[in-house]
Every structure is written in C-alpha cells, then in structure tokens.
Structure 1
Amino acid sequence: MSALIRLAWRYLWAQPLTATLNLLLLSLGLAAISFVLLVSEQIEAGVRRDLAGIDLVVGAKGSPMQIMLSGVFHLDVPTGNIPLSTLKTLRAQPLVARAVPLSLGDSLRGFRIVGTEVSYLDLYGASLAQGQLWQAPLQAVLGAEVAQRTGLALGAEFAGSHGLGEQGDAHEGDAYTVTGILKPTGTVIDRLVLTDLASVWQLHEAHHGSAADAAPEDEAEEIARREITLILLSYRSPLAAISLPRWVNAQAGLQASAPALETARLLRLVGTGTDVMRGFAVVLLLAAGLSVWVALLNAVRARQADLAMMRMLGAPPWRVAALVGLEAAILAALACVIGLALGHGLCAVLGQLLADRQSLRLTGAWFSLWELSLPLVAASLALLASAWPAWRAYRLDVSDLLQAPR
C-alpha cells in the first residue's frame, strides 16, 4: 500500500501547476468555511458572556442599539446622560433585582474608564488578582487586558483622556492611582478601567470649571444635581420584561434597550456577512471539485500506457482505480491541513487587529466542533471528483490498448 501511495504522490505532482491550482482552490474554500465558523462562534460566545445578568439597559433618549453597544460591549458612544435620581427610582421598583450605574466619558489609551459600583464586578464574576478595590475617588482597578497592554502596575498613576480616542484632552491635574488588577475573565471587563462614580464627577466638574469647591450640599440636593450615563438592570421576575421597558420609555428623557433583542438584531446583521462568506466558500469548493475532476480525467487518458503496464504486471483493476482515488485523497488531505491553518491564522490576525482597537476578542486558538466536519467535506469532494476517472481506470481494457496503432 505504501508503494501505491508513493506512486500516487508522484503522479499528483507530475503536473505541478495543475496540482497547485487545485490545492489552492480547495484550501481557500476550506479556509473560508473554517474562518466563518471560528469568527461567528466566538462572537456569539462573547455576546453571551458580556450579557451575563443584564436584562435591560436604561440610558438617555436615542437609539436602543447605541445604548446597548455603549453600555454592555463598550463599543460606541452613549446617547447622553440621565439624572442620578433615576437610579433611586429604578431600585425602588419591585420588578428590579439589581441596578448598576455607569458613568462614561474618559479613556486610558483607548480603554474606557467606567465609573460604577462594586456590584458591576459581580455581573461578570470578576475578582482581584492583585491589590484591592477602590476606596476613595481617583483610585482605579484595571482589567487584565488593560494592565497587560499598558504595563501599569499597582501604585502607578495615570491621567485619563476625555472621550474614547487617544487624542482627547488629558485630565492632567487629577491623576488616577492603580489600586488593583483583576483576574482575566474573558469578558468585556478585561478591557475596562473601573473606578467609583465620584471620580468621574470630580474630574468633569474640574474639567468644565464647575463649583467643585462649593459648600457641601445635602444628599437630596446632590442626587438632584448629579448625572450618570447608563443603568444596567436585572429583572426580579419574567413579568418585568413586559412592563418595565414600557414604563422606562414613558419617562421623560429615558430610553430602554433590551440587550437580548438588540443583540439578536446585531447577530442577524453579522449573519448576513457570514452567509455571503459561506456561499463564497461553497463556490470555491465546487470549482475545486470540478477542476480536480477534469485534471484526473485527463490524467487517466494521458497515463493509459502506464496503467496498462501495471495491469500486465499483475495489478488488479481495483488497484489501478485506487491509484486515481489516492491522488484525490492526498490532495484533499493537504488542502484540509492548509485550509485549517489558513482559517485559524486569519482569525488570529483579525483578533490582533481588533485587540489594537480595544474591540471584540477573537483568537486563532479557538476550535469549533464543526471543524471536525471539514475533513469529511474534503474527503467527500475528493471521492466525488475521482469517482468517474477511477471508474475509467477500472474499466481500462488492456487488450485494446495493446492493439491500438502507435
């Protein structure tokens, strides 16, 4: 059998340009399928992780999609601010199990600085790897990816930049102190800098020249004056999903965004692109199958004398047919290895590009169970492409070839 495989290998590369073209088409088709599987599964898994425990996002009037993207995935700018008193009102609602406030606006080298409460960490099961949580204004806790990419350690100081870009005006007068670093969670919190709400208020009052040194005010006056950006809600019962968004939208200046609905819309948009990629991959595979079929058919015709000699030396018909099938099988095996390597490599490159933009996390190390079907797809395509040429080789009449005029 090993001799037959070696002979099939030599026959395959007897026409290197044709073999390379067929290998390229098969590899690109399999790589496209692998890439689509890896990206779509990682996006869906990331969405599920980042939505953990968040049933509703409340923000200023505007696009629900924008509110969801800015409040859950931190990929967009928020629609505006809402009164801090809204938080107290929502926490008093019997249908609300948990309400977590967020104050946004600044960033550190492109990583968003989020003013919030400790309960935000509970949404993602985040815990400290080093240090402690913030105890006072202008103390910050870094997500695992932020700490890794910025190189900041415990006790380091940094100034936030206004806005989400790295070109925003820096708050040079007031620097944050790193008091803690979180363990990696694989969620959006890895890409965030967390602090308390008072830090955000203090910085922006100073930035806008507000009366930061004014006389102390009582709690009611402070709540009436303060603003936050978003509130993440968790429902106490399924009934809240029906009544609470309607109630929020009826309030002046408030907009409710249901992450489950908005992410379903988002994934449908992403699904359109993946469907196009899958269609492109199928076209490539069909073209590769047709090309392999033509190449093998021509090879059988060109090697009739060689195949007849094998028959005369005692090779049974099935062995001659198996030689043709082995050529296609070797080609499919090579294409499968190259295609999977290309798919994972492209996913790793895309993941690095997204990481540089503090966006979704993708990795080439992800493995999809559906990828186990790719060798079967490649083998099936090789079998179909080689079936007719192998049958022609099997039916080869040695006596006719010997009697044919030279």
Structure 2
Amino acid sequence: MTIVGISIKALKAKKLSSFLSVLLVAFGMAIITTLILVSHQLTQKLESNAANVDAVVGAKGSPLQLILSSVYFIDFPTGNIPLQNFEEIKRNKMVKKAVPIALGDSYEGYRIVGTEPSFLQLHQLQIAEGKLWSKNFEVVIGADVAKAKNLKLGALIYGSHGLTTGAEVHEEHPYRVVGILSKQNTSADQLVLTPLSSIWGMHHHEEIIEEEQDITSILIQYRSPVSTVLFPKMINEQTSLQAASPAIESARLFSIVGIGFDVLHYFAILIMVIAAVSVFVTLFTSLKERKYDLAVLRILGASKQQLFFMMLIEGVILTFTGALLGLAAGHTLVEILGSLDGASQVLFSGYLFLNDEFYVLWAGIGLGIIAAIIPAIQVYRYDIAKILNN
C-alpha cells in the first residue's frame, strides 16, 4: 500500500475529527469564495453601468440616490425636472451628449424608462431582434425581461404606476414589444425602453402640453476633461438642479459595502485559522494511538522521511478536501443569490471562476502543511526501539 493510501485509511479511522476539520475548512473557504465572487461582480457591474456616463443631472436631493436611480435603476428618483432644463443643458458647450430619461412606471418589477435613441448609443446597446420604436407605446426590452417573461416581438405588456409590483395597472394603454436588446450584462438587460412621449401620454390622456413634459434626469457625457470640474460646479451653484458623478458616488457606495465585506473577510480568515488548528489537533492526538503502527511501518522498511511526508499528506488531504468543498459551496451560494430575485438589478453568477480563488485554494493547502509540520516532526523523531519496548 502506498503512503497516500495509508494516510487515507488513517483519516478514515478518525471519521468524526476528520469530518469536523474538513467542515471548518470548507466553511471558511465558502465564505471567502462568496466574498471574492460577489465583490468582483458588484464592482464590475458598477463600472460597466456607468462606463459612458460622466455625470447625471436631476432634482436636488441625495447625489447617491440620483445615481442609483438613473444609472443603476435600483432606487427611487429624487424628483422630476422640466424638459426645458434638458434643452438648455444639451446646448451647453461643455456637454458632448445629453440623454433624457423619465421614470415612474414599471412592468412586473422591471422599470419602464422613457428616453431617446441616444440612450442606446450612450450605453452601446445593440438590438438583437426587431427594431427601435417608431411611435408611442412601442418598447424595446432588455434580454433578461424577454427571457424571464417569455416575451416575443409583437407581444403586449401593461405598465403599472410606480416602481414596484402590485401597483395600479394602466390597462388603457398597452405597450407593444418591437425590439429585444442583445445581452449586455448591465442594468439595461432588465429595462423596458420607450419614447418619452409614451410616458407623458400614459399619464395625460388628452393632448400633452409643454408644462406637463417632465423628465427624471439627464445623463451627461463631457466634451473634454476640463468639464469634469467646471460643469458640476456650474449646475450645483447656478441652477436649482444638482449634478452627481457616477464614479464618485459608486466609489462611496462600494466603500460602505466594503466595510461589511472586510468584516466577513476577517471572519473567514479566523475560521480558516481555527480549521488549521483543528487539523493540527486531529493529527497530533492521533499520534499517541498510532505510535505502535508507525513503529511497525518502520520495521517493515518505511523510512523516517516517508513517515514525515505521510503526516504532511494527511494534513493536505484534510485541507484540500475542505477547500474543494468550500469552493463548490461558495459558487453554489452565489448562484442561489443571483437567482433569488429575477427582477434584481444586481445579479450574480456562480459560473464565474477567478484567479483569486486558486490563490486562496493554495493558501488553504499551505495551512494544512503548516498544521501538519509539528506532528510530522514528532513522527520523524520517534525512537522505534523505545516504542516497541514499551
């Protein structure tokens, strides 16, 4: 029998203690894997959603709320502003592109966004099926909306008042699906896009007058880097509006979320250290019962070096098994989190594998080796003659 085979049999003889050691390693590894996957995907989504948006202009209020509602579509707007403000900002020399959006309604949890074709250009969205809208109450839907609700071109959908499910449904004005966006892996996948006039017409059954043409916010793309400093200062000081930076507010948001990630990260490291101690205790306590067996192995021809490596192998088997189970559990948990709410704007996938995970896997194996070093040295120093005499 090989040294590896003997190591496995020795661990099987201590099923409970071996199981607890593996369980601790798996638990710590699962937490670390989950944190790595969630933080990476969250950061990636924050960056991809705001990639081409330099600023957002909207009603006074919380800058973070303005960004969350207009860029990530996961909060309520700070209020509405007159369409006239958009026309004025669009003519500003510091602005390269200005895109209006109007929020207020939703379709079974998915937000209906009134906008212009420039919204698709700004976010580099591609239509996979159908075409862009050409008249009121035509919509282009995101890939996730089409998949979740099994919608095809020509399908009729009904919006409801408000941004949550269960509100009053506008049955008098159905929307017709004329286009489906290709998968973007951004919040656009879960949007229902329609002309601004559809939003205004939905809430005003008679002819729309200019005073009723409100929008929620304006997405801005600067003409030059100098505008980054000058434009927000001008808007915030000289108008009744506010300008917020997605980059700044996203960093602020992630710093808040990051505190919780740090706490869980340290907790996971603590569990891994405890797991290493558990591996050490399992191996060390088993030595007293195995002294005679180890002495017999020496008599049968096993060298001190072979017994030394046998103990190391036992530590590696415990931590490697736990680490693999933890990796699988972490990916499974992330996939479950991503599928809990199909209308969520921040979806996570458990099918993503990152290099950082393998570094953590090697670190876990390293802990197993460290935990097994002292028992291995103890075995190396055994006096076989003395053990057999006793």
Q: What TM-score do the two structures reach when normalised by structure 2?
A: 0.98
1:400 alignment counterpart: 386
Structure 1: 4+ residue segments shifted above 3 A? none
Structural mapping, 1:103-118, within 5 Å? 103-118=102-117
Task: Compute the displacement of 1:252 (Å).
Answer: 4.2
1:281 alignment counterpart: 268
2:200–2:212 contact (8 Å) kept in structure 1:
no
2:87 alignment counterpart: 88
Letter in structure 1 aligned against 2:158: A
Cα deviation code 1:194-229 (max 9, x no counterpart):
0000000001113xxxxx247xx7xxxx3x542111
Distance 2:304 2:219 in 1: 71
Tell me how large the CA RMSD over aligned residues is.
Answer: 1.2
Q: Determine whether 1:237 maps to 2:224.
A: yes
Task: Compute the displacement of 1:251 (Å).
Answer: 4.1
2:27 alignment counterpart: 28
Give the 3-state SS of the residue equivalent to 1:233 in structure 2. Answer: strand
Cα deviation code 1:274-296 (max 9, x no counterpart):
10111111110111111111111
1:65 alignment counterpart: 64
Task: Compute the displacement of 1:358 (Å).
Answer: 2.2
Letter in structure 1 aligned against 2:329: L
Structure 1 pair 190/357, CA: closer, same or farther in 2 (3 Å)?
closer
Distance 1:199 1:70 in 2: 20
Give the 3-state SS of the residue equivalent to 1:237 in structure 2. Answer: coil
2:355 alignment counterpart: 369
Letter in structure 2 aligned against 1:126: L
Structural mapping, 1:323-362, within 5 Å? 323-353=310-340, 355-362=341-348
Gaps of 5+ in 1: 207-211
2:120 alignment counterpart: 121
Distance 1:59 1:3 in 2: 71
Give the 3-state SS of the residue equivalent to 2:139 in structure 1. Answer: strand
Task: Compute the displacement of 1:366 (Å).
Answer: 1.1
Q: 1:296 aligns with which of 267, 270, 283?
A: 283
Q: Determine whether 1:100 maps to 2:86.
A: no
Distance 2:207 2:89 in 1: 30
1:209 alignment counterpart: none
Distance 2:73 2:312 in 1: 53
Task: Compute the displacement of 1:68 (Å).
Answer: 0.3
2:101–2:114 contact (8 Å) kept in structure 1:
yes
Give the 3-state SS of the residue equivalent to 2:2 in structure 1. Answer: helix
Give the 3-state SS of the residue equivalent to 1:168 in structure 2. Answer: coil
1:187 alignment counterpart: 186
Give the 3-state SS of the residue equivalent to 1:78 in structure 2. Answer: coil
Letter in structure 2 aligned against 1:114: V
Structural mapping, 1:103-252, within 5 Å? 103-206=102-205, 212-213=206-207, 222=210, 225-252=212-239
Q: Determine whether 1:309 maps to 2:296.
A: yes
Distance 1:306 1:368 in 2: 43
2:190–2:343 contact (8 Å) kept in structure 1:
no
Letter in structure 2 aligned against 1:366: L
Task: Compute the displacement of 1:253 (Å).
Answer: 3.0
2:148–2:342 contact (8 Å) kept in structure 1:
no
Distance 2:347 2:240 in 1: 33
Gaps of 5+ in 2: none
Give the 3-state SS of the residue equivalent to 1:310 in structure 2. Answer: helix
1:82–1:253 contact (8 Å) kept in structure 2:
no
Identity of aligned residues (%): 39
Q: Determine whether 1:388 maps to 2:387.
A: no
Distance 2:387 2:76 in 1: 76
1:332–1:382 contact (8 Å) kept in structure 2:
yes
Distance 2:267 2:18 in 1: 21
Deviates more, 1:194-203 or 1:247-256: 247-256
Distance 1:38 1:372 in 2: 12
Give the 3-state SS of the residue equivalent to 2:204 in structure 1. Answer: helix
Task: Compute the displacement of 1:3 (Å).
Answer: 1.6
Q: What TM-score do the two structures reach when normalised by structure 1?
A: 0.94
Q: 2:307 aligns with which of 317, 320, 330?
A: 320
